[in-house]
Structure 1
Amino acid sequence: MVIAGKTGRWLRRLAPERKYVRKDLIAGLPGAISSVPDGMAASVLAGVNPVHGLYASIFGPIGGGLTASTRLMVITTTSAAALAAGSAVAAVPDEERSRALFLLTMIAGALMVLAGIAKLGRYTRFVPHSVMIGFLSGVSANIIFGQLPDLVGAEADGPFALAKAWDLLMHPGRIQAGATIAGLSALVLLVVLGRTRLAVYSTLIAMLVPTIAAALLGADSIPRVSDVGEIPSGLPAPVLPHLADFSLSLLAGAFAVAALVLVQGAGVSEAAPNPDRSRSDPNQDFVAQGVGNLLAGLFRGQPVGGSVGQTALNLSAGASTRWASIFCGLWMAVLLLLFSGLVGTVVMATLAAVLIFAAIGSFRIGDVRAILRTGRISQIAVIATFLATLFLPVAAAVGFGLVLSLLMQLNQEAIDLRVVELTPRENGLFVEKPARRQLESRQVVLLDVYGSLFYAGARTLQARLPDPGHAQSPAVVLRLRGRVLLGATAFAVFADYAQRLDAAGGRLFLSGVDPAVLEQIRRNRTVEDGTGVRIFEADDVVGESSLEAYHAANNWLATRD
């Protein structure tokens, strides 16, 4: 009965509100129209029949719209996900590639659902801005270089997009005049219409006008969508994936797609707040994108994720509830039912033009300039990630970006750590100054630490603590207030410093210790082992335990006379 009650409440929350139905129904139509060229172009990036991008544009928005916490986010095909998926299935034979793509999509969807259930949403903030901008810039460059051959109707060989563009440059005789004219015409239309009231429909117009012109002129030699594969009529039936298509490279590709989609989706949810100002749940959005991918893969679609462009279009079209996204998918189904026979006649060069135009527009030059002005670490991160995306498979580039993110986090923790010396005043306040390098005999030094004490941060603390050197009976009070969890490295550093002080006849005092940290120290057993370390727990009065430890250290020194 409880489950039935929860299900009923969930269904009532999903039910469309009558006052918004008409508005959302209208708002979903522009998104569906623009999804036609976008979905087909995404399939071109993935290296499969363009119809699979259209299928994904039906079921991604429906599945995602029903389950997303960010109610105006549109979950559909994205260039980054398509490029990652295409890289993962590039080595699969043509006749098996589509099946492998469906399996990859469903594996990626399952990974996203698991990530949401495991509440991994908070970890998206650990991806540095410089790494993400470097990767997205590399994706845009890959799209441009990779689509140049299709733009001019030429064949090009190479292990990666830049190599294919170079091969095209070295063999200009392969260029087809008709395809080039069609592609360049589409680019001109995109540029011109993008500045008019027809901007919402510019991609569709840029695709249709050259295609119609080529048909009227009888230019049959220009490559068309039907050359890639047969375009079936009607809507797809559900098809279970073939587990025989599974491989480790496919699994790696699914992880890459999931990582990309989740990080991008987190950014989209921030840019599309809920109308009632309720907070979005990143973990629920993870699940929603997973559901969108599971449905897309089941119905022969390719990977989907939170789309920046489609979400922005959804907002500008006046969407009010999640049903605008759902209606977008339903409108897409209607368009495919009515016009599936025309899809195969579309000139491939126009799809290449759509992709190139979108890739150029997605370059965030302002962000890149800001990062390059920020500092050496950020410069290295953005450039290294950009180059890795250009020259490595997308899955490897994503892995490189994640490792680089972790290394940057650890490096930042180490760099940000600062040790200061506090001198108590009579009024109970403290004067702060840089920590001394060497301890002096028979003096008490009160130290505070700014920064993380995990991993490299703890080792940085070890290098910056004042050296006992030749001092006799030095006493050090190390303030730890505000730290509720420490790692084994920090305890090893405390134990080592306590032993060095003990060897000089001195003693270590730890103040402001949280009860949870004290429990860790008791379990660890190395910090207090034979060195006489004294511990003072934190209380509600800030600084009181440190003053108590400071006075205790002075009293201890007095007993050494």
Structure 2
Amino acid sequence: MVIAGKTRRRLRQLAPDRKTLRKDLIAGLPGAISSVPDGMAASVLAGVNPVHGLYASIVGPIGGGLTASTRLMVITTTSAAALAAGSAVAAVPADERPRALFLLTMMAGALMVLAGVAKLGRYTRFVPHSVMIGFLSGVAANIVFGQLPDLTGAEAEGPFALAKAWDLILHPGRIQPGAALAGMSALVLLVVLGRTRLAVYSTLIAMLVPTVAAAVLGAEDIPRVSDAGEIPSGLPMPALPHLADFSLSLLAGAFAVTALVLVQGAGVSEAAPNPDKTRSDPNRDFLAQGVGNLLAGLFRGQPVGGSVGQTALNVSAGAAGRWASIFSGLWMALLLLLFSGLVGTVVMATLAAVLIFAAVGSFRVGDVRAILRTGRISQIAVIATFVATLFLPVAAAVGIGLVLSLLMQLNQEALDLRVVELTPRDDDSFVERPARARLESRQVVLLDVYGSLFYAGARTLQARLPETAQARSPVVVLRLRGRVMLGATAFAVLADYAERLDAAGGRLYLSGVDPAVVEQIRRNRTVERVTGVRVYEADEVVGESSLAAYRAATRWLATRD
């Protein structure tokens, strides 16, 4: 009965609100119109027929809209996901590439669903801002460099986008004047119209005007979308992927797409809060993006995710809820039904112009400047990730970014650790001072620790605890309040310090210890086996157990006379 009640409530939440239905219906149309060039351009990045981006732009917003916790988020094609997918299938023969892409999309969708079920949403916060900005800047640069040949109608060779751009510079004779003129015209239209009331439709206009001009002038030699493959008419029918297309490189690409989509989606959910102020559930958004990708792969589309641009357009168009995204997908299906025959006539250079314009606009110069002014660690992170994205496959760059994130997290935790000395006053308050470097004979020292005690943090604590050498009968009270778990390294460090104090005729007292940590200490048996270690469990009064431990240590020291 409880499950049935929850199901009914969930279905009621999905039902369109009559008060906002018309608003969402209208808001979905600009998103559908702009998805035509965006979806086609995403397929260009993935190296497949542009129709697959259009298919993804139908089912992604519908599936994601029905399931997302962030109700204004639009789940559709994104440049980063397309670039990652294209990098993963680049080595696959052109005639087999679409099938491999569909399988990759469904694998990524399954991974996203698993991430949502496993409630991994909280881990997105561990990706440093500097790493993400470095990666997104590298993606934007790759798009610009990689689309220069298409913008000019030239053939270029090279193992990565920057190499292709350099090859084009070395061989300017390959540039096709007609294609270059169409591409540059599209760029001019994008810049000019972007500052007018037609900004919402600027990408569509920039794509159509040069295409119509080329058709009127009879410029048949200019590359068109149909050159990339036949554009099927009508809507896609569901088809299961071929498991024979599976490969480890494809799986690595699916993991790369998953990491990118989930981290970007978390950023989109923060930028587009729910109208009723309810908090978004990152795990449910993971599931929604997984559903969008499973549907995209099933209906012969490419990877989708929370789109920054489409979500911003959705909000600016007056969307009131999730049905704006759903209507965007339905409008897109209608547009494809009516105008699928015209898709193949679009000039490829205009799609390259759309991608370049979007990539240049996505450069967050202010964020990069702020990061470069922050400190050495942030500088290394943003530059290393940017360079890796330029010269390595996207899957490898994502892996480097994630490893770099972990190393930065551990390094920062170690650097942030601070040991201070607390001196009790007559009114039972404490005066905080920097911890002394060496212990003195026959003195009780109360220490507190700020920062993580996991992994490198525990070793940093070991290096920053006062030295016991040459001190006789030194006593240390170490305050551990607020820590609900300690790692094996922390236990080893505490046991080592206790042994050094014991060797000098002193003792170690642990105060403010959480009951869960007390149980850990008993199970671990590393610290308690050292002679003289005393543990004082935390109570409701902050500082009470530390004062009790300090007084007990003072009394014990007095017995040593």
**TM-score normalised by the shorter chain: which range applies?**
over 0.9
Give, as a single letter, the amino acid of the residue that structure 1 aligns with 2:554.
Answer: N
* 1:366 match: 366
Deviation string 1:68-105 (CA, Å, 9 cap, x unpaired) is: 00001000000000000000000000010000000000
* 1:245 match: 245
2:202 is paired with a residue of what secondary structure? helix
Give, as a single letter, the amino acid of the residue that structure 2 aligns with 1:73.
Answer: M
Deviation string 1:410-439 (CA, Å, 9 cap, x unpaired) is: 000000000011111101111111111111
Please tell me whether the aligned partners of residues 492 and 526 of structure 2 are also in contact (alpha carbons under 8 angstroms): yes
Do the aligned partners of residues 538 and 7 (structure 1) sit closer, same or farther apart at CA in structure 2, a change above 3 Å counting? Answer: closer
1:422 aligns with 2:422: yes
**1:178 & 1:149 partners in 2: Cα distance?**
13
Once the two structures are superposed, the pairs formed by residues 232-311 of structure 1 within 5 Å of their partners are: 232-311=232-311
Deviation string 1:293-343 (CA, Å, 9 cap, x unpaired) is: 000100000000000000000001000110000000000000000000000
* 2:195 match: 195
* 2:508 match: 508
1:99 is paired with a residue of what secondary structure? helix
* 1:186 match: 186
Once the two structures are superposed, the pairs formed by residues 18-167 of structure 1 within 5 Å of their partners are: 18-167=18-167
Please tell me whether the aligned partners of residues 151 and 353 of structure 2 are also in contact (alpha carbons under 8 angstroms): yes
* 1:528 match: 528
1:338 aligns with 2:343: no
Give, as a single letter, the amino acid of the residue that structure 1 aligns with 2:86.
Answer: G
* 1:542 match: 542
**1:555 & 1:403 partners in 2: Cα distance?**
50
**2:517 & 2:11 partners in 1: Cα distance?**
46
- State the Cα RMSD in Å: 0.7
**2:257 & 2:249 partners in 1: Cα distance?**
12
* 1:210 match: 210
Superposed displacement of residue 22, structure 1? 1.0
Superposed displacement of residue 157, structure 1? 0.7
**1:454 & 1:531 partners in 2: Cα distance?**
25
**1:499 & 1:54 partners in 2: Cα distance?**
68
Deviation string 1:468-513 (CA, Å, 9 cap, x unpaired) is: 0111110000000111111111000000000011111111000000
**1:248 & 1:102 partners in 2: Cα distance?**
15
**1:168 & 1:535 partners in 2: Cα distance?**
71
Once the two structures are superposed, the pairs formed by residues 387-406 of structure 1 within 5 Å of their partners are: 387-406=387-406
Please tell me whether the aligned partners of residues 498 and 530 of structure 2 are also in contact (alpha carbons under 8 angstroms): no
Q: Runs ≥4 in structure 1, deviation > 4 angstroms?
A: 1-5
**1:531 & 1:399 partners in 2: Cα distance?**
46
Deviation string 1:8-32 (CA, Å, 9 cap, x unpaired) is: 3322221111121111110000000
* 1:378 match: 378
Give, as a single letter, the amino acid of the residue that structure 1 aligns with 2:522.
Answer: R
**2:6 & 2:413 partners in 1: Cα distance?**
44
Unaligned runs of 5+ in 2: none
Do the aligned partners of residues 163 and 508 (structure 1) sit closer, same or farther apart at CA in structure 2, a change above 3 Å counting? Answer: same
Give, as a single letter, the amino acid of the residue that structure 2 aligns with 1:299.
Answer: F
Please tell me whether the aligned partners of residues 72 and 321 of structure 2 are also in contact (alpha carbons under 8 angstroms): yes
1:409 is paired with a residue of what secondary structure? helix
Instruction: Name the TM-score, length of structure 2 as normaliser.
Output: 0.99
Give, as a single letter, the amino acid of the residue that structure 2 aligns with 1:292.
Answer: G
Superposed displacement of residue 2, structure 1? 5.2
325-334 or 8-17, which moves further after superposition?
Answer: 8-17
1:447 is paired with a residue of what secondary structure? strand
Instruction: Name the TM-score, length of structure 1 as normaliser.
Output: 0.99
**2:218 & 2:531 partners in 1: Cα distance?**
91
**2:183 & 2:281 partners in 1: Cα distance?**
42
